[in-house]
A = this chain, B = another copy of it.
Amino acid sequence: MKYLHWTFCLFLLSLSVHSQRVFEEQAREVGIESLTRFKTFLALANDASKGDEIQDNISWVKEQLQDQGFEIKLLETSSLPLMIANLSIKEKLPTIALYMHLDGQAVDRSKWNQDDPYQAVIKQETASGFETLSWEALKGENIDEFRIFARSSSDDKGPFAMLLTALDILKSKKKRPAFNLKLILDFEEEQSSPGLPESVKTHKEDLLADLLLIFDGPMHVSKQPTLVFGNRGIATLTLTTYGPITAQHSGHYGNYVPNPALALTKILASMKDDQGRVLIPDFYKGIEIDLATKKVLEAVPSEDASIMARTQIATTDQVGTNYQESIQYPSLNIRGMRSGWVGKEARTIVPATATAEMDIRLVVESDPEALLAGVKTHIESLGFALLDHVPSKEERLSNSKLVTLTSKIAYPAFRTDTQAKEGKWLTKILKEYYGTSPVIIRTSGGSVPISPFVSELGVPAIGVPTVNLDNNQHSPNENLRIGNYLMGIETYLAILTTKF
C-alpha cells in the first residue's frame, strides 16, 4: 500500500482521462495482495447440489459485504436463497445492479491436475504444459500470464473477488460509487437458477434497477474489453432407452436381447447431420441474420482460427459461416452419454439402459416449448414411444421401442439492443479507460438467468466479461489469468466511478 498516499492526492486532482493511470497502479498493487482473500474464498467448496457447501459461501460473502457497508437481504426461494446486497449512495441517483453467481460446477477430482480443485494453485504455461509455481511467485515480476487454478476461479467467483478489491480501493480513497449499487448474487446458477424466475415476480421491488450488468463469462479472445448484449438461454433434456430389465451377459444375449445403447445412438445420430446442423424441422425457425446484424457480427475480430487452434480441431460445425454467426442459432448438444461401463470397468454385457444428457441453448427467436416439442416429435417419428417416467413392466412388455424423456426449460435467452443508450454509456467508459473501443457481442453463447429481468422488469442488461476465454470453465482445471483478474479490478473502478 506504499503508493496510497500520493495516488490518493493524484486522484483528487484527476478527472476521467487521467484517472486510469492512477487506478492502474493502485489496482495492481492492491489486486495482487487481494489474491490471498480470493484463495480463501475459492477454498469454500460451492457445488450447488450440496446445500451445506453453499451456506458456507453465503456466510462468507455476507460478512465481506457487510464490511463494505452493504445491506444484505436473502430472498427465500423454493430452492437456495438469492442474495441482494444494496449500497445506497443517494436516493435520487440511479441504481445499477450487478449480477454474479457464486456457486460452481461439480468437480471430478480425478480429472484435475492438482490435489484439490478448491485449493487454488498458481501455474505458469510452459512449452510442456502448465507448471505449478509457489504462491510466493506472485510477489515477482511479469505475473500477468500466471494463472490461478481452482473451481470457480473464473466462473464466477473471480469477478466477485475483483469487485471486492475495487471497493477496497475506493474505500481507501474515501470515494463512493457514482450510483446506487445493487448486487444480485446467485448461489445456484450452475443448477440453472431454479429460484430466480419466481423471485423476479415475487420480489419485484427488491430487484428493480435502471441497468443490470452481468459479470460472468469470458472476454473476447482478442483480450480487448468486451460488452455482451445478449446471452443464449438454456433448456436441458435427459433421454433414456431401455434394453433388458437388468444387464445381461453379452454372450448369451448378444444379438438377441435389444441393446439400449444402439437404440440411443439411432436417436441421437438422426438429430444432426455430419456438419452438426440440427435436422429437426423448424429448429432454426425465425432466425434471420439481416444486414445490420451481419455488420455487428462482422465487427467482432474473428476468433475462428484461435478457437480451432486452442481446441485442436480441424473443422467446425457448419451452423453459421463463422463463430459469431453460429452462436446466433440455438444449439442441440450431447453433454453426456452413458451405458454400461468403459475402460478397466468394462463388462461384457448387454446394458439395461442408455442415457444421454442434452442441452439446448436458446436464442431470443426460439420458442423453448416449440423446440422441445420438435425433439419429441422427431423421436416419435423414429417409432419410439415417449414416456416421462421409467417404464412399468406392462409398458416394457407392450412397446419394443421406449424412451423416457424429461426436460426443463431453465430460462430463455435475452438480448438488449446493441444501439441502446446504456450500451453507449459503457462503451464510452471502456473506450476512455482502455483507449480502444470494446468488442460488441450481440449474443454470447453461454447462458445467464437474466431474461426475467429484461422481460418481466424491463431492465436492460449488458454483460461485462472479465475472465480469459481459455479458462476451462465447467471442466477440470478451471483457471483465471492473473492479468484478467487485475484488469477486471480496473474495469470495475472505471464503471463504478462514472456517472450513469
Interface residues of A (CB under 8 A from B): 49, 105-106, 108, 217-218, 231-232, 234, 236, 238, 243-259, 261-262, 264-266, 268-270, 272, 274, 276, 278, 307-317, 319-320, 323, 326-327, 329-351, 354-357, 359, 361, 383, 393, 396-400, 444-447, 469, 472-477
Contacts and interface: CB of A to CB of B under 8 A. Distances in A.
A174 to B, nearest CB: 40
Given A337-B337, A337-B338, A474-B347, A254 B311 contact: no
B475 A106 contact: no
B247 A474 contact: yes
Contact of A255 (B105, B231, B326, B474): B326
A118 B440 CA distance: 62
Contacts of A444: 251-252
A188 to B, nearest CB: 14
B350 A342 contact: no
Contacts of A274: 266, 383
Contacts of A262: 268-269, 272, 276, 334
A326 B254 CA distance: 9
Contacts of A264: 265, 337
Contacts of A249: 445-446, 473-475
B234 A313 contact: no
A477 B250 CA distance: 16
A406 B473 CA distance: 31
B357 A251 contact: no
Nearest to A448: B251
A251 B445 contact: yes
A325 B272 CA distance: 36
Contacts of A339: 334, 336-338
B335 A340 contact: yes
Nearest to A105: B347
A233 to B, nearest CB: 10
Q: Give the residue among A251, A350, A351 with the most B Cβ atoms within 10 A.
A: A251
A312 B245 contact: yes
A21 B333 CA distance: 66
A475 B337 contact: no
Contacts of A334: 259, 261-262, 265, 339-340, 351
Contacts of A252: 217-218, 327, 444-446, 469
A332 B348 CA distance: 11
A321 to B, nearest CB: 11
Contacts of A257: 307, 311, 313, 316-317
A248 B347 contact: no
Contacts of A266: 265, 269, 274
> 7 closest pairs, A vs B, by CB?
A251-B446, A254-B331, A336-B340, A244-B311, A255-B331, A315-B400, A269-B269
B245 A311 contact: yes
B106 A256 contact: no
A232 B477 CA distance: 45
B338 A351 contact: no
A444 B256 CA distance: 13
Contact of A248 (B245, B253, B354, B475): B475
Nearest to A394: B312
A261 B337 CA distance: 7
Contacts of A473: 249
Nearest to A392: B312
Contacts of A361: 250-251, 254-255
Given A246-B477, A314-B399, 7 more contacts: A249-B473, A250-B361, A259-B317, A264-B337, A314-B397, A315-B400, A336-B351
A259 B335 CA distance: 9
B348 A359 contact: yes
Contacts of A335: 250, 340-341, 346-351
Contacts of A476: 246-247
A135 to B, nearest CB: 25
A333 B256 contact: no
B313 A258 contact: yes
Nearest to A469: B252
Contacts of A253: 307, 311, 445
A432 to B, nearest CB: 28
Contacts of A276: 255-256, 258-259, 262
A156 to B, nearest CB: 12
A337 B347 CA distance: 11
A316 B258 CA distance: 6
Contact of A359 (B238, B254, B330, B469): B254
Contacts of A261: 268, 334, 336-337, 356
Nearest to A315: B400
Contacts of A351: 334-336
